[in-house]
Chain A
Amino acid sequence: MIQAQKVSYRSKEVHIINDIDFECNSGEFVAILGPNGAGKSTFLSLLANELHQKGNKILLKSCDYNQWCEKELPKHKAKFSQHNNSDIPLNVEDVVMMGRYPYFDHIPSEEDKKAIQYSMECIDICPLQNREYNHLSGGEKQRVHLARVLSQLNNNVENKLLFLDEPLNNLDVLHQHKILELIKDFTIKGNTAIVVIHDLNLAAQFADKILLLEKGKKVCYDTPQKVLTQDTLSKVYNFPCIVTTNPVNNNPLIIFGK
């Protein structure tokens, strides 16, 4: 699905990302974890073709990003960014419709309207659709952008790729789970999601694989059971923790503190 070899990123002589190899297959839910400043968002931006550095080689579906047609690419991959503009003087519906911009020139088709309606239902923002975006709360704005990104990938293309940079910020528990379940459904259909996340327990519950980063380097990349161990976590996060088994779903359960 996506392959990256020896990816690095340097800004003003500071190595933010150092020689990371990464690969994932279609149908996988990959979570990127790590403490602050580990380079999670930067790595995601590099994978998503937002940041570039000479010498990096990243292949999406075995093709370099340069070889992709600019018009086709948005139908195969989408990204949800951590810092969304909070000042967009438009209605919610118009903002979600931007996700369909790759599909129409001037007039949105019935299909586009259905697609945004469907993703707004999934994300629970239908009651907001005629409100002004600028009047919403932080969490609601976040959900508007999630709906926009989802509607962007609502098509017949197989093996799509979705990047999400901390999608759960500002969201309440209900919506956190709802969105992770949506992403899970998305990956079960053969698509891939790469998600930067802070909550280790949610990652343990939903992710198929976990990439753990520390100071721009890869610590390990494997299934949650193998990555989320007491030793690794307390070393990387520099904080004591206990890992047990979640009594409800048998996933690893991490409890921080002495």
Chain B
Amino acid sequence: MQKKLSFYLISLLLFLIVLAVASIFIGVYQFEEGSLKTISKILSGNEDINPSDYYVFFDVRLPRVLMAILIGSGLAVSGTCLQGMFKNPLASPDLIGITAGSVLFAAITIVLGSYVKAVVPEIIHFSLLSIMSFIGAMITMSFVYKISSTNAKTNVGVLLLAGVAITALSGATTGLLTYLSDDEELRNLTFWTLGSLAGATWTKVGILTAVIITSVVLLINKGKSLNAMMLGERDASHLGIPVENIKRRIVLLSALMVGASVAFTGTIGFVGLIVPYILRLVFKSNYYYILPLSAVCGSILLLGADTISRTIVPPSEIPIGILTSIMGAPVFIAILIRFKKSI
């Protein structure tokens, strides 16, 4: 069991590294000396790299690739954990409204932020947006969980409809805010609703590394507990699983990861739905496998999608949210068909 898991993990990680290196050298800008030579120069610490090569490598593509890896991993892990907690393959952060709740708070912050900034200490200004999107994610998560669960059982209809309601509210508010906003705020808002990794910087990568790596590490070994929770929460606690503790951890850390992703990249939908679905085709619902593997597969998916999104219509790029939705909608329908009896 263990051997097989580490085999899959290592091969997928190797694939991710190859994809990451390839992704750095794919794009509208071509490195002057060819990719292999540039790599060897960078690795050997050679100073005489062409300054524009250097700039594109270190300040544009590398942070962007790292951000895709981090966010893909975070979204996929939060999707898998939520599905385990709600015992349903449709529970992903976007479908149950957590992303929308987070976007709602981010949008309010963008437009009304100038008023708020006058009263909060300066240190918070910088991270105001991420804190607000985290709070938004957290509030919607608790709200959705409260209204959809009775006696430790989840009502899936209510769960998904709560998502629809929150998405509608968020859509309406974002619409209203576009009327109130000036030019720059408008540009920011549009970016939020479509999602893009184009704004990657090292600061953002730093914050995301801290948030997502911590959360993923704290969640990734909970596969056994999620398996046991399929028996029902009471039976899981007879097996010594601290159910309440794990649920609290999943709620908090998923909200944190979704909030951080939304703050820096806007709405990138369906990653938390597609990745576990594909893994389930191979490993059934054995979270012992799909939880750690989803961390790597999420990165692969989002990095692949981002590379496509910035090369498919040169010299411009299409928002990555559109690409993931194109992939996500058929998966959504496939899940509906496959699980229609149990949903």
Contacts and interface: CB of A to CB of B under 8 A. Distances in A.
Greatest chain B CB density within 10 A among A71, A90, A91, A99 is at A90
Contacts of B335: none
Nearest to B2: A107
A90 B240 contact: no
Contact of A78 (B221, B228, B231, B238): B238
Greatest chain A CB density within 10 A among B87, B234, B238, B242 is at B238
A165 to B, nearest CB: 11
B231 A84 contact: yes
Contacts of B242: 70
Contacts of A106: 2, 221, 224
B240 A79 contact: no
B239 A102 contact: yes
Contacts of A42: none
Q: Do most interface residues of chain B lie in helix, strand or loop, or is the interface mixed?
A: loop
Q: What band does the interface of chain B fall in when counting residues whose beta carbon is under 8 Å from A?
A: 20 to 34
Interface residues of A, number: 30
Contacts of A45: 234
Interface stretch (B11-19, B31-39, B279-287): B279-287
A153 to B, nearest CB: 11
B224 A84 contact: no
Interface string B1-26: 11000000000000000000000000
Interface string A63-103: 00000001101100111010111011111001100110110
Interface in B32-51: none
B173 interface: no
B120 to A, nearest CB: 42
Interface in B211-228: 221, 224, 227-228
A37 to B, nearest CB: 18
Contacts of B113: none
A119 interface: no
A191 interface: no
28 contacts: A45-B234, A50-B234, A70-B242, A71-B240, A74-B240, A79-B238, A81-B234, A84-B231, A84-B232, A84-B235, A85-B87, A87-B342, A88-B231, A89-B280, A90-B230, A91-B284, A94-B286, A95-B231, A98-B228, A101-B228, A101-B239, A101-B240, A106-B2, A106-B221, A107-B1, A107-B2, A132-B284, A152-B239
Interface of A: 45, 48, 50, 70-71, 73-74, 77-79, 81, 83-85, 87-91, 94-95, 98-99, 101-102, 106-108, 132, 152
